[in-house]
Amino acid sequence: MDAKISGSTMPVLQIRLSPGDKIVAEPGEFSWMTSNVNLRTTPMTAGAKGLFGVLGRALSGGGIFMTEYTAQGGDGLIAFAAKVPGHLMQVDVTPGAGYLIHRHGFLCATDGLELSIGFQRSLGAGIFGGDGFIMQRLSGTCSAWVELGGEIVTYDLQPGETINVHPGHVGMFQESVNFDVTFLKGIANMVFGGDGLFVARLTGPGKVWLQTLTVPNLAHAIAPYMGRDSTPAAVTGAGLGGAIASGLLRDIFGGK
C-alpha cells in the first residue's frame, strides 16, 4: 500500500492498493477510484463488536455503516478529497497510543481500525459540552488519515501543562492528554463576551493539534453572500416555526 497527499488548500489523499489491502471509510466519502476497486458496505467493521459497538461509533459521528475498499485482480487506486480548506494528516495508531479527533475528522484508515465514541474522564465533557465535545476515538493497530480545518498549530504539552481552547478549534490530541470542559470565567464574559459558555481544557502529557478553521466560522463568513433565498427548504417550508427559525438564522449568520 502506498499513500500520497497532494495539494495545499483543498488536499487529496490518493492510496494505491495492492491485492489484499483494505481501506475503511464512511459510505460515500471516496472521490474517485479505479474500476477494479471493490466496495463492501457493512456495519460490522472498524472494530464494531455487536450492536452497542455500532451505535457507539454512530454517536461519535462515524455512522452505522462503513465501507471497505479492496483491489481485485491487481493494483488499484482510490482517492479521498478534503471537504473544507485545511490539511490531511496521517497518524499511526497502536495499542495504547491512540488519538481523539473532532467528530467529523475521520477520513479513512487501514484494516485494524477501531473507531468509537471518545467519552472523557470528566462527566461534564459528556453532559455540558454538546456536539462540539463528542470526540471520535481512533484505536487498534492501523494507519489512519484525519482531516483538520484551516492551518494546524501543534503543542507538545508537558505533564501538568494545560491549555484552554475554544471547543471548535480542538482538532486532535493523543489519548494520553486529559480532556475536560470548564465554564468560561466571569459572568460578564459568559453573557456578553460572545465566546460561549464553555472552554475545552487540555492537560498534558501529550501532543495536541489545533485547527484554525471551524465549520460554523466558515458558515458565518459566507452567509452574507448567500442572500435571503439560501435558507434550506426544510426550514423555510415549516410554516410559522420555519419563519422564526429563518429569521434567527439570518440574525446569527449576518444575512439580510
DSSP state letters, 14-68: EEEEPTT-EEEE-TT---EE-TTEEEEEESS-TT--HHHHHHHHHHTTS-S-EEE
**Same domain as 59, residue 76:** yes
Check pLDDT > 70 for residue 110: yes
The CATH number linked to 55 is 3.60.160.10
Rounded Cα–Cα distance for residues 45 and 112 (Å): 9
The predicted pLDDT at position 199 comes to 85
- The pLDDT score that the predictor gives to residue 159 is 97
- One domain, residues 79 and 156: yes
Predicted pLDDT of residue 187: 47
Q: Which domain holds residue 162?
A: 2-213
Instruction: Report the distance separating Cα 153 and Cα 169, nearest Å.
Output: 10
Is pLDDT of 43 > 60?
yes
Percent of the chain residues topping a pLDDT of 90: 48
Instruction: Indicate whether 239 and 142 sit together in one domain.
Output: no
Looking at the 3D structure of the chain, how many domains does it have?
Answer: 2
pLDDT band at residue 232 using 50, 70 and 90 as cut-offs: very low
In this predicted structure, which of 60-74, 78-92, 169-183 has the lowest mean pLDDT? Answer: 60-74
When comparing pLDDT for 44 and 70, which is higher? 70
Q: Are residues 34 and 153 in the same domain?
A: yes
34 and 86 share one domain: yes
- Mean pLDDT value across residues 19-27: 91
